[in-house]
Amino acid sequence: MALFGTDGVRGLANDVLTAELALDLAVAAAHILADTGAFAGHRPRAIVGQDSRASGEFLEAAVIAGLASAGVDVYRVGVLPTPAVAHLVAESGADLGVMISASHNPMPDNGIKFFAKGGGKLDDALEAAIETRLKEPWKRPTGADVGRVVLDESAAERYIYHLLSSLNTSLSGIKVVVDCANGASSEVAPEVYARAGADVIAISNKPNGLNINENCGSTHLENLIAQVKATGADLGIAHDGDADRCLAVDSKGEVIDGDFIMAILAADWKVSTVVGTVMSNLGFVKAMNELGIKVEKTAVGDRYVLENMLANNHILGGEQSGHIIMRNHANTGDGVLTALQLMQVMAKTGKSLTELALVMQRFPQVLVNVKDVDKSKLDSANKLHEKIDSHEKSLGDSGRILVRASGTEALVRVMVEAQSEEKAKEIASDLAEIVRSELK
């Protein structure tokens, strides 16, 4: 079974993802990059960051030990968002970045994702090569050739400067509630929004190593919605554990997901093309087409969105889940940057988020996560595929169906869009039941 999913290596910390595996992955990554010539002519440097999980402490130590033992100088940046690590790799000219995080997953999980020189994620071929090199015999450097470890105390401030430099309008007059998921954005996000001029109320911004994503953040919007309504805020912003995604709620408590955010930005920026995924809502696609904006779709995963953007020189893309990539400002999804840009459109236009969201009408969408099934059997599930074909014919152009194995969790996702929520629920329930019975 492959170690790498759509967003690095993830698993239950100290069970699937052990200190030994973290060390071996770091060593193998250093060797692979060295073989590609990435370190040619200079002493290699790496940036290592983490989110607020308790397990990140020992995993960080293991990753640093692996890199330093392979002759890589390591700059520790501590608890910072994943996109901060990507930015710092690019800004500093480092050869490698490592982020220790399981993003929106529950606290007991953790993960390791690598960034190449320039801050982009490693491609599939390099990740596969790292797996093949685990535990291989190697000649270890000694003496002055071993890597050194440095605490980079200016990293957070440099990232904040980068975020603020993306704005050309003050956010003064905007009242925002930000849910930091007790994660990596707990200090940075409220600070950035306040410096940008907004009136900021922060919640779930007191991480203790155990409470990341616990009934908070982008996967649990209830507290944020309640706080926006109670405080009369103009909007709410929700980040996940590593702050690479952003969801919003308007002043009425209505959810503004990644499709709405992309639609608002695309309309304001007047782009010709926006890159989405197969999960992008049909309402988003129709709205963009009506504005004369083409939508290109990729597989789920912001890495695939970025690949398309780079190949075709597009500047805006992302996912319904709130991973938004703005290539004129960053080379990876950045939830804090996304929130700043969304609020800037509000400030420039003088429109509320409710008004801006009228740019599209969302088709009712039902998503069922089917757990405890063998997702490797999905492609050969003939009865399921026959049923999908039957439902697709009945929907015609008024809906769509997507059944796929999750790239980050042990489950199969069944997504159905239709003109009525009742119809979407009916079809999703039928398909989910077949998934459970056929993929045992």
- Each residue's pLDDT, cut to its tens digit, for the chain (440 residues) gives 578 887 789 999 999 999 999 999 999 999 998 888 878 888 999 999 999 999 999 999 999 999 999 999 999 999 999 999 999 999 999 999 999 999 999 999 999 999 999 998 888 889 999 999 998 999 999 999 999 999 999 999 999 999 999 999 999 999 999 999 999 999 999 999 999 999 999 999 999 999 999 999 999 999 999 999 999 999 999 999 999 999 999 999 999 999 999 999 999 999 999 999 988 999 999 999 999 999 999 998 888 899 999 999 999 999 999 999 999 999 899 999 999 999 999 999 999 999 999 999 999 989 999 998 888 889 998 999 999 999 999 998 788 999 999 876 778 999 999 989 999 999 999 999 999 999 87
Total Cβ atoms within 10 A of residue 296: 16
Domain end residue (candidates: 121, 155, 189): 155
Which range marks the domain in which residue 387 is found?
A: 365-438
Q: Are residues 406 and 293 part of one domain? A: no
Locus of tokens 């009425």:
252
Q: Are residues 11 and 32 part of one domain? A: yes
Q: Are residues 295 and 413 part of one domain? A: no
Q: Are residues 142 and 75 part of one domain? A: yes
CATH of the domain at 119: 3.40.120.10
Give the pLDDT confidence score for residue 1 in this predicted structure: 55
Q: Are residues 319 and 387 part of one domain? A: no
Q: Are residues 127 and 20 part of one domain? A: yes
Residue 161 lies in a domain: no
Q: Are residues 150 and 135 part of one domain? A: yes
Mean pLDDT of the chain: 95
Output the DSSP codes for 334-388: -HHHHHHHHHHHHHHH---HHHHGGG--PPPEEEEEEESS-GGGGGG-HHHHHHH
186 is annotated as an active-site residue: no
- Quote the number of domains for the chain: 3
pLDDT tens for 263-273 read: 999 999 999 99
Q: Are 319 and 277 in contact (CB under 8 A)?
A: yes
pLDDT tens for 426-437 read: 999 999 999 999
Residue 160 lies in a domain: no
The residue from 52, 55, 101, 103 that is catalytic is 103
Domain end residue (candidates: 155, 186, 212): 155
Q: Are residues 335 and 269 part of one domain? A: yes
Domain end residue (candidates: 321, 340, 359): 359
CATH of the domain at 389: 3.30.310.50
Q: Are residues 371 and 350 part of one domain? A: no
Residue 97 lies in a domain: yes
CA distances from 324 to 83, 301, 436 (A): 11, 11, 32
